């Protein structure tokens, strides 16, 4: 019915340089396409996505009166919008253009040239057959809610929130810890400039806390997200803090008087905190939380010292979790990373040998406000005579993470420098490759070489307290194959620092599902395009920035934060955005009202009209995934742009040379 | 119901390590293990042959696996070399279809074929996991109280990896502990004893053994508990030569885990092949072993 018998299909076959033409005989595909039903003209061209390539389509639409266009090139993910726009400029509805992916689906994954050419022909035939059944669709514009949700209050989330809020728009910043600041707040110095992490971060934290456009919710987590770009509805769980944020004046008496202690997360367990605590003095907000696991009142029903002594009456043991709903137009995830758990790597005996530290522990050990006041001392109180820094712990290791964590070489150099500055210790770095790629990084490496730090090229095999001679007795021994000398060595040290790598957050999978984005093999969130859309995701209106996308240092994280803020502000400046037209529609005549689709729809886009006894799709919410159309037992739902007729035509086309 | 395994003894266990074989046979019954010896088995090629002719070496082991496949049971072996070769062959045949085809052409000459899938376990894993430490503990009649044991894995049991952390295994310590013995720390527990290097480069192998013996002496172990015939052979038989080469005075007995199990179960010295020991036990262990008859 929709097939225009007089369809005039223009077929364009892209060489993509040698990406396609190197494997697929494009001339032959073109030749074969000429005989396909409805095809009015066939052209092949070096780069269809280039301006001249796009112009080719436009000119032919006008001159040859084409009413369907097939572009055989790459994945539609990147260039479908390009070619749709090219058609629309020439007056042809963009949805009458069909792509055939002969690169990712064919030339890149096929060894044999002839097989590749045959497959490309089949894909083109499928696209041509399908194109003849396409119908024009109209995209709509929807308004964008001017508020933005930023998830995660590390340096990335802080920067994103400030950039957006400074433009005058509302930002909700949700952080699951009691304070913002993230990992950076725990660092001592920053490489390669050696400026103090707290000195550059805390002013930004304070600004977040005071900003009129930022609503800061710490000790909170996003529980549910519904809706779509422009109008998301988000449910945030504000966990019970047992301290009223509005009444607390941050005087700290509660913390001082609390008689119970637990290991401090902020100090990497090297010091204790109270059961009611502010993680560190510069925390924002400077409102304590009560840890029910450590608080004696929650165990025995007695104590309440903090409540009795609080001058403003802010302590409230009856406080409950609260669920708060907010409406936002865009979401930026800045959920960061987690540190590799060094105990997983048995050979380094972390957790067994007292003088084996992780990087985050060492950060606190040399920090002036840390547990030792910045003095680098062994547990015995002595100064170490020699310290070994083991690189790539949990990184570049197929057993754990294949990826390079990007920051460890540099923070290891920073540690080496701080050790040289504060102690007389001999410092050894055990490295595979030194990766000092950033601005000023290589120079910093050079400086450390001049500071007489030892660099041993080889992955440390193990750390042991087993002495094999008198010189090793009472010390730790690092065994390593020194690949420059070509020998295994045993190097006695007193302290070992493990340069633990960066991993995805342990609940990254779950968070990704909640926000409807994807995670890669390495566990990190996947960006829309690795080069050209680094902070966008496959879901419109959901952006990612910082180390949740992959290991990143502070400069890169901050750059991404500003990039994500700019992306959000782009949609806010315009006030509205275009949404997909390929949505589903229910044929009320055929709908039996079984409501199967209501529960299946992942976007809650289908509602039931009880009066008429039929279901209906909300166009604004529908993402066109097709789940409902596939499941409908009455065949009453049509996925526009992917209806049965179109799909069957494409299958027949692909199988054009198969004869029964 | 007693768990049943196709038992692959391997040559060493049959020959140089008769005490291992005897103790395995002696404890299997009380542990409730049925070890059905694989009929017509052949040598696995040990550590050496894999480096001489890899394909032929895979064929040797594949023949054993092909024979075992007919019985549908898991294969159990007590020799770390055999264990490694069995695991490696399974893994390689699974991963490399071309190799599998080659090996099967050779097997076809003997009217055999092997497509993979025969699970292989080291006897240590069978006892510690399948029988279970709780059951072992129940069976102990004469706890090895006061005996300081260094649990030594060697390298080949761990590197094909049966689910143990190859850098920080704990299975043997758990088992020895279940027998009532005092488990010492043994930092070199996963280090190599030199293996077949003792035959080709004795100097290096003696040094590796020296390291292990020194470590055992360091932690004041009264016995080194092993799970491999070659480890036992190198550490015990060559102990005198180590002493001569390095001017040391090591005198630490090296016993198989099955011998220690047997002692704890109350079995007699001769049943466990303990009369064959070259380095005699001393202290509390000697009391458990009893006076030579």
3-class DSSP assignment, residue B136: helix
Residue in the structure block whose two tokens are 């690795």: A530
| ipTM (interface pTM) | 0.78
Per-residue pLDDT of A188-219, as tens digits, reads 999 999 999 999 999 999 999 999 999 999 99
Q: What is the CATH number of domain A9-139?
A: 3.40.50
| Among A residues 435-464, those touching chain B with beta carbons less than 8 Å apart | 462, 464
Query: pLDDT tier at A627 (50, 70, 90 boundaries)?
Result: very high
Query: pLDDT tier at A140 (50, 70, 90 boundaries)?
Result: confident
Tokens of A309: 């002594």
3-state secondary structure A562-619: HHHHHHHHHHHHHCEEEECCCCEEECCCCCCCCCHHHHHCCCCCEEEECCCCEEEECC
CATH number of residue B26's parent domain? 1.20.1050.140
Task: Please check whether residue B130 lies inside any domain of the structure.
Answer: no
Query: pLDDT tier at A622 (50, 70, 90 boundaries)?
Result: confident
Check whether the bond before A285 is cis (ω within 30° of 0): yes
For residue A126, the model assigns a pLDDT of 97
Does B214 sit within 8 Å of A468, measured CB to CB? yes
Out of A345, A462, A466, name the one closest to residue B215 (CB): A466
Average pLDDT over every residue of A643-658: 92
Average pLDDT over every residue of A180-193: 96
Q: How far apart are CA B115 and CA A645, in angstroms?
A: 46
Statement: residue B1 has pLDDT above 60: no
Q: Which site among A463, A468, A469, A479 would you substitute to test the B interface, given the most B Cβ atoms closer than 10 Å to its Cβ?
A: A468
For residue B292, the model assigns a pLDDT of 57
The DSSP bridge partners found for residue A616 are: A607
Out of A345, A346, A466, name the one closest to residue B187 (CB): A466
> Chain B closest CA to A347's CA: distance in Å?
5
Q: How far apart are CA B242 and CA B166, in angstroms?
A: 27
* DSSP letter assigned to residue B49: H
Averaged pLDDT score across all residues of chain A: 95
Q: What is the dihedral of CA A94, A97, A100, A101, to 10 degrees?
A: -20
Is there a single domain that holds both residue B117 and residue B160?
Answer: no
Please tell me the total count of domains within chain B: 2
| CB contacts, 8 Å: A468 with chain B | 211, 214
CA distance readout (Å), A242 to A291, A294, A323: 9, 13, 15
Q: Find all residues with CB under 8 Å of A586, minimum gap 6, and list them.
A: A597, A606, A614, A615, A616, A617, A636, A637
Average pLDDT over every residue of A17-27: 96
Residue in the structure block whose two tokens are 């369907």: A68
Average pLDDT over every residue of A645-649: 94
Domain that holds residue B146: 141-289
> Chain B closest CA to A348's CA: distance in Å?
9
Per-residue pLDDT of A453-510, as tens digits, reads 999 999 999 999 999 999 999 999 999 999 999 999 999 999 999 999 999 999 999 9
Statement: residue B167 has pLDDT above 80: yes
Query: Please, are residues A288 and A247 in contact by the beta-carbon 8 Å criterion?
Result: no
* Ramachandran angles phi, psi of A424, nearest 5°: -100, 15
Nearest CA in chain A to B166: A346
> Chain A closest CA to B167's CA: distance in Å?
5
CA distance readout (Å), B218 to A418, A467, B180: 37, 9, 22
Query: pLDDT tier at A297 (50, 70, 90 boundaries)?
Result: very high
Average pLDDT over every residue of A395-407: 96
Average pLDDT over every residue of B171-178: 96
Strand pairing class (B223-226; A68-73): unpaired
Residues of chain A with CATH 3.30.70.20: 584-639
Is there a single domain that holds both residue B80 and residue B190?
Answer: no
The DSSP bridge partners found for residue A502 are: A339
The DSSP bridge partners found for residue A71 are: A12, A99
CATH number of residue B229's parent domain? 3.40.50.11810
Out of A345, A349, A466, name the one closest to residue B188 (CB): A466
Does A346 sit within 8 Å of B168, measured CB to CB? yes
* DSSP letter assigned to residue B234: I
Lowest mean pLDDT among A645-659, B64-78, B92-106, B241-255: A645-659
Whether residue A99 lies within 8 A of chain B, CB to CB, comes out as: no
Q: Find all residues with CB under 8 Å of B227, minimum gap 6, and list them.
A: B78, B80, B122, B123, B124, B152, B153, B154, B157, B172, B256, B257
Q: Find all residues with CB under 8 Å of B109, minimum gap 6, and list them.
A: none
For residue A1, the model assigns a pLDDT of 43
Buried b or exposed e, range B16-34, using 16+ CB within 10 angstroms: ebebbbbbbbbbbeebebe
Per-residue pLDDT of A417-448, as tens digits, reads 999 999 999 999 999 999 999 999 999 999 99
Residues of chain A with CATH 3.40.50: 9-139
Per-residue pLDDT of B35-86, as tens digits, reads 999 999 999 988 788 888 999 999 999 999 999 999 999 999 999 999 999 9
Whether residue A236 lies within 8 A of chain B, CB to CB, comes out as: no
Tokens of B110: 């003997």
In A348-440, alpha helices (H)? 359-365, 408-422
Tokens of A203: 């002013």
Tokens of B84: 């490694």
Q: How far apart are CA A597 and CA A618, in angstroms?
A: 12
Statement: residue B293 has pLDDT above 50: no
Is there a single domain that holds both residue B175 and residue B117?
Answer: no
Query: Please, are residues B178 and B31 in contact by the beta-carbon 8 Å criterion?
Result: no
Q: Sign of the CA dihedral B225, B231, B232, B237?
A: negative
Q: Is A523 left (phi over 0), alpha (psi -120 to 50) or beta?
A: left
| CB contacts, 8 Å: B211 with chain A | 468
| CB contacts, 8 Å: A346 with chain B | 165, 167-168
Whether residue A347 lies within 8 A of chain B, CB to CB, comes out as: yes
Is there a single domain that holds both residue B53 and residue B149?
Answer: no
Tokens of A416: 């080496």
Tokens of B208: 């590796």
Is there a single domain that holds both residue B114 and residue B180?
Answer: no
> Chain B closest CA to A477's CA: distance in Å?
12
Per-residue pLDDT of A502-539, as tens digits, reads 999 999 999 999 999 999 999 999 999 999 999 999 88
Is there a single domain that holds both residue B184 and residue B102?
Answer: no
Q: What is the dihedral of CA B99, B101, B107, B112, to 10 degrees?
A: 130
* Ramachandran angles phi, psi of A608, nearest 5°: -105, 125
Q: How far apart are CA B121 and CA B135, in angstroms?
A: 19
Q: How far apart are CA A284 and CA A240, in angstroms?
A: 17
The fold adopted by the segment(s) A584-639 is: Alpha-Beta Plaits (3.30.70)
For residue B50, the model assigns a pLDDT of 84
Query: pLDDT tier at B291 (50, 70, 90 boundaries)?
Result: low
Q: Find all residues with CB under 8 Å of A187, minimum gap 6, and list them.
A: A197, A363, A367
Q: Which helix (H) or strand (E) holds A446?
A: helix A441-450
* Ramachandran angles phi, psi of B270, nearest 5°: -70, -30
Q: How far apart are CA B61 and CA B68, in angstroms?
A: 11
Q: How far apart are CA B253 and CA A550, in angstroms?
A: 53
Q: Where are the beta strands (DSSP E) in A29-67?
A: 39-45
Is there a single domain that holds both residue B118 and residue B22?
Answer: yes
Q: What is the pTM of this model?
A: 0.83
Check whether the bond before A62 is cis (ω within 30° of 0): no
Residues of chain A with CATH 3.50.50.60: 148-336+542-574, 339-503
Average pLDDT over every residue of A120-133: 96
Tokens of A268: 């990497």
Q: Which helix (H) or strand (E) holds B90?
A: helix B80-95
Q: Give helix B257-265 / helix B18-31 axis angle, nearest 10°.
A: 50
Is there a single domain that holds both residue B155 and residue B284?
Answer: yes
Nearest CA in chain B to A467: B215
Is there a single domain that holds both residue B82 and residue B201?
Answer: no
Nearest CA in chain A to B169: A346
Statement: residue A324 has pLDDT above 80: yes
Does A462 sit within 8 Å of B167, measured CB to CB? yes
Name the CATH superfamily, with its identifier, for domain A148-336+542-574: FAD/NAD(P)-binding domain (3.50.50.60)
Is there a single domain that holds both residue B175 and residue B92?
Answer: no
Instruction: List own/partner pairs for A340-345 with CB under 8 A and 24 or more apart.
Output: A340/A393, A340/A394, A340/A395, A340/A400, A340/A401, A340/A405, A340/A500, A340/A501, A340/A502, A340/A503, A341/A394, A341/A500, A342/A393, A342/A394, A342/A498, A342/A500, A344/A394, A344/A400, A345/A393, A345/A394, A345/A397, A345/A400, A345/A498, A345/B167
Buried b or exposed e, range B115-152, using 16+ CB within 10 angstroms: eeebebbbbbbbbbbbbebeebeebbeeebeebbbbbb
Per-residue pLDDT of A482-497, as tens digits, reads 999 999 999 999 999 9
Is there a single domain that holds both residue B152 and residue B273?
Answer: yes
Average pLDDT over every residue of A88-93: 96
Of chain A, the percentage scoring pLDDT greater than 70 comes to: 99
Q: What is the CATH number of domain A339-503?
A: 3.50.50.60
Tokens of B163: 């689910």
Q: How far apart are CA A262 and CA B114, in angstroms?
A: 58
Q: Find all residues with CB under 8 Å of A129, minimum gap 6, and list them.
A: A36, A37, A649, A650, A652, A653, A656
> Chain B closest CA to A466's CA: distance in Å?
6
């Amino acid at each position: 019915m929709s097939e225009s018998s007089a369809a005039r299909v223009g077929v364009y076959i892209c060489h993509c340089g040698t990406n396609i033409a190197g494997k697929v005989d494009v001339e032959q595909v073109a030749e074969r396409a000429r005989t396909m039903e409805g095809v009015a003209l066939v052209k092949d061209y070096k780069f269809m996505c280039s301006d001249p390539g796009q112009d080719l389509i436009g000119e032919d639409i006008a001159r040859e009166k084409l009413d369907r266009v097939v572009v055989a090139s790459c994945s539609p993910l990147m260039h479908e919008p390009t070619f749709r726009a090219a058609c629309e400029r020439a007056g042809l509805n963009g949805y009458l253009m069909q792509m055939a992916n002969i690169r990712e689906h064919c030339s890149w994954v096929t060894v044999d040239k002839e097989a590749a050419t045959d497959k490309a022909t089949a894909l083109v035939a499928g696209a041509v057959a399908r194109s003849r059944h396409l119908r024009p669709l109209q995209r709509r514009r929807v308004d964008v809610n001017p508020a933005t949700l930023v998830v995660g209050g590390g340096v990335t989330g802080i920067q994103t929130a400030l950039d957006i809020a400074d433009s005058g728009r509302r930002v909700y910043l949700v952080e699951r810890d009691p304070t913002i600041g993230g990992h950076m707040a725990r660092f001592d110095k920053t490489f390669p400039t050696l400026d103090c992490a707290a000195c550059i971060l805390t002013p930004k934290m304070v600004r977040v806390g005071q900003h009129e456009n930022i609503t800061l919710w710490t000790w909170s987590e996003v529980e549910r997200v519904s809706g779509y770009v422009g109008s998301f509805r988000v449910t945030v769980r504000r966990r019970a803090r047992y301290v009223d944020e509005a009444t607390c004046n941050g005087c700290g008496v509660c913390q001082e008087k609390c008689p119970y202690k637990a290991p401090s997360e902020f100090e990497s367990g090297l010091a204790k905190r109270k059961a009611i605590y502010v993680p560190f003095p510069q925390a924002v907000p400077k409102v304590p939380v009560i840890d029910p696991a450590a608080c004696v009142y929650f165990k025995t029903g007695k104590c309440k010292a903090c409540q009795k002594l609080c001058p403003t009456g802010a302590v409230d043991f009856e406080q409950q979790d609260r669920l708060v709903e907010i409406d936002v137009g865009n979401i930026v995830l800045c959920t960061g990373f987690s540190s590799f758990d060094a105990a997983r790597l048995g050979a380094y005996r972390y957790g067994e040998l007292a003088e084996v530290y992780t990087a985050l522990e060492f950060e606190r050990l040399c920090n002036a406000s840390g547990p030792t006041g910045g003095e680098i001392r062994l547990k015995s109180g002595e100064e170490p005579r020699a310290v070994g820094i083991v690189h790539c712990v949990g990184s570049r290791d197929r057993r754990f993470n294949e990826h390079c964590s990007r920051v460890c070489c540099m923070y290891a150099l920073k540690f080496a420098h701080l050790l040289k500055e504060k102690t007389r210790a001999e410092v050894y770095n055990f490295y595979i490759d030194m990766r000092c790629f950033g601005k000023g990084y290589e120079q910093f490496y050079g400086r450390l070489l001049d500071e007489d730090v030892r660099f041993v090229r080889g992955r440390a095999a193990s750390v042991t307290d087993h002495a094999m001679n008198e010189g090793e007795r009472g010390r730790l021994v690092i065994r390593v194959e020194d690949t420059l000398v070509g020998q295994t060595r045993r190097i006695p040290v007193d302290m070992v620092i493990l340069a633990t790598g960066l991993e995805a957050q342990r609940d990254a999978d779950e968070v990704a599902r909640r926000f409807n984005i994807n995670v890669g093999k390495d566990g990190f969130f996947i960006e829309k395009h690795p080069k050209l859309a680094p902070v966008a995701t496959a879901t419109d209106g959901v952006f990612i920035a910082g180390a949740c996308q992959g290991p990143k240092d502070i400069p890169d994280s901050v750059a991404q934060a500003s990039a994500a803020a700019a992306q959000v502000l782009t949609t806010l400046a315009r006030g509205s955005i275009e949404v997909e037209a390929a949505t589903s529609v229910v044929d009320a005549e055929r709908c039996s009202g079984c409501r199967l689709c209501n529960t299946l729809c992942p976007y809650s886009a289908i509602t039931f009209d009880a009066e008429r006894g039929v279901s209906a799709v909300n166009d604004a919410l529908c993402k066109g995934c097709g789940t409902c159309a596939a499941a409908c037992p009455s065949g009453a739902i049509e996925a526009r742009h992917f209806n049965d007729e179109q799909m069957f035509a494409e299958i027949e086309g692909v199988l054009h040379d198969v004869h029964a | 119901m007693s768990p049943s395994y196709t038992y692959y003894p391997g040559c060493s266990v049959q020959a140089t390590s008769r005490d291992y074989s005897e103790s395995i046979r002696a404890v299997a019954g009380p542990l409730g293990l049925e070890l059905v010896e694989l009929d017509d088995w052949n040598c696995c090629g040990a550590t050496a042959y894999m480096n001489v002719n890899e394909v032929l070496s895979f064929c040797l082991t594949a023949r054993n696996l092909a024979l075992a496949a007919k019985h549908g049971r898991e294969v159990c072996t007590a020799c770390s070399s055999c264990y490694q070769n069995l695991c490696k062959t399974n893994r390689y045949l699974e991963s490399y279809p071309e190799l599998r085809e080659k090996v099967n052409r050779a097997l076809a000459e003997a009217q055999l074929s092997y497509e993979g899938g025969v699970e292989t376990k080291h006897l240590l894993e069978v006892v510690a996991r399948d029988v279970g430490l709780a059951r072992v503990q129940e069976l102990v009649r004469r706890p090895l109280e006061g005996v300081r044991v260094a649990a030594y894995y060697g390298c080949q049991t761990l590197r094909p990896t049966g689910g143990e952390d190859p850098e920080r295994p704990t299975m043997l310590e758990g088992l020895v502990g279940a027998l009532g013995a005092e488990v010492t720390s043994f930092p070199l527990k996963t280090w190599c004893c030199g293996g077949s290097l003792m035959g080709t480069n004795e100097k290096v192998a003696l040094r590796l053994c020296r390291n292990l013996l020194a470590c055992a002496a360091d932690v004041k172990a009264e016995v080194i508990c092993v799970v491999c015939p070659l480890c036992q052979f190198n550490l015990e038989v060559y102990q005198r030569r180590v002493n001569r080469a390095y001017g040391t005075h090591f005198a630490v007995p090296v016993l198989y885990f099955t011998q220690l199990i047997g002692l704890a179960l109350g079995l007699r010295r001769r049943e466990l092949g303990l009369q064959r020991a070259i380095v005699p036990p001393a202290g509390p262990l000697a009391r458990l072993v009893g006076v030579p008859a």
